[in-house]
Amino acid sequence: MKYYFSKITQYIGYLLIGLFFALILLQQYPRLIGHSIGWVDLLFETINNPAIVPVSYHNAIMQTAPSIVHLFEPISSSQDDQIKENKSIQYKSIGSGVIVDEKGWILTNLHVVKKADSIHVLLEDGRQVKAILKGQDAATDLAMLKIDLMNLQAISWIKQQKRIRIGDVVLAIGNPFGLNQSVSMGIVSAIKRNLYLHQYDQFIQTDAAIHPGNSGGALINTSGHLIGITSALFSNDSGNQGLGFAIPAYIAQFVTSQLIQYGHVRRGWIGVEAKRINLALTKQYHLQDNRGVLVDLIVPDSPADHAGIRQGDMILQIDEQTADDVDELINYITMTKPGRLLNMMIIRQTTYQKEMITVQVGQKK
């Protein structure tokens, strides 16, 4: 027994020695196995940069897919007559939607559904049901549908919009050209892109393939969280040219809550028009950097007028929000509940001194 144990130990020793020399050989000559760097260097690079490890986005897609729906409408207006005659009803695809609440609320683009006489929904599990348009917001091109079904899975929203970075991998899920549950991959090409298509534009730009039929679908990150609603593409021939755009989640989530609660969007308003500052204004107002927005116009008898804000004042901060971007400032105000008090740090044009101003938010008409 001792003899066999000794032999086994000896063979294991030979194996370990051989493995040791093999590793040394591969470290010195990595091209023997098709690598450009040694395995030790590769190990440390993998630890320091996990992104180089081959990955699959299957889990993120499977987590999200049950929340993506296909929107379509009957082609014929005489649907009831077809049913009586036992004829098959033909449908045409109009776009995509995202289940945002398990009670049957579906978010999509307004341009997808506004011309539809009847909207039907096809779920990922094969169920079909008619939807009712419950609310719309032309200012963001978003609309809310309602269906009456059980066991629905609402999508998971991204928690912090600031975590979206240029270069992040994103996945677009929708129904391009009527092809159910199609997925394309790309990166975030730009953020805060203003195309002047709607009143409130802060698009996420991506090179993920977005085609007709993707509108109203989901743009997700690799964790399966919704970062935007796919909405638009640039193309000369109705095809993808690497320029797709999505309404960011923070805007979509605000509109979602408003449409579910009121059927329309109630936006805050204080009656200020502002513009970005330049180097000359930075020096004039004795600013250490270019953070701040200049009050360009005050609407008479507005909340800002009543609070004492004047044309030429410089807004530095609203609550905890630094005022270094006009669009972000306007979005912050519009997403504030009417009646709420805003604390604003300003610099007076007349004295160049800082002051705190309190403004009661009105409701935009």
Active site residues: 111, 141, 215
What is residue 68's DSSP assignment? E
Say if residues 256 and 265 touch (Cβ distance below 8 Å). no
DSSP letter at 56? -
- Six token digits for residue 191: 């953020």
111 and 216 Cβ atoms separated by less than 8 Å = no
Crossing angle of helices 39-48 and 2-28, in 10° steps, is 80
Contact (CB, 8 A) for 209 and 183: no
* Whole-angstrom distance, CA of residue 216 vs CA of residue 226: 12
Cβ burial, residue 6 (10 Å; 0-12/13-18/19+): exposed
Contact of 317 with 358, CB cutoff 8 Å: no
- List the beta strands (DSSP E) in 4-90: 68-74
**Which has the closest alpha carbon to 106: 123, 92, 94, 91?**
123
Q: Which two tokens stand for residue 214?
A: 């993707």
Instruction: Please list, in sequence order, all residues whose beta carbon lies within 8 angstroms of the beta carbon of residue 216, skipping any fewer than 6 positions away.
Output: 71, 95, 96, 97, 98, 107, 108, 109, 112, 174, 229, 230, 231
Among candidate residues 350, 140, 155, the one with its CA nearest the CA of residue 258: 140
Identify the H or E element spanning 27.
Answer: helix 2-28
Contact between 224 and 60 under an 8 Å Cβ cutoff? The reply is yes
How many whole angstroms separate alpha carbon 330 and alpha carbon 342?
13
- How far does the chain reach from its first CA to its final CA, in angstroms? 93
Residue from 215, 229, 209, 52 nearest 158 by CA: 229
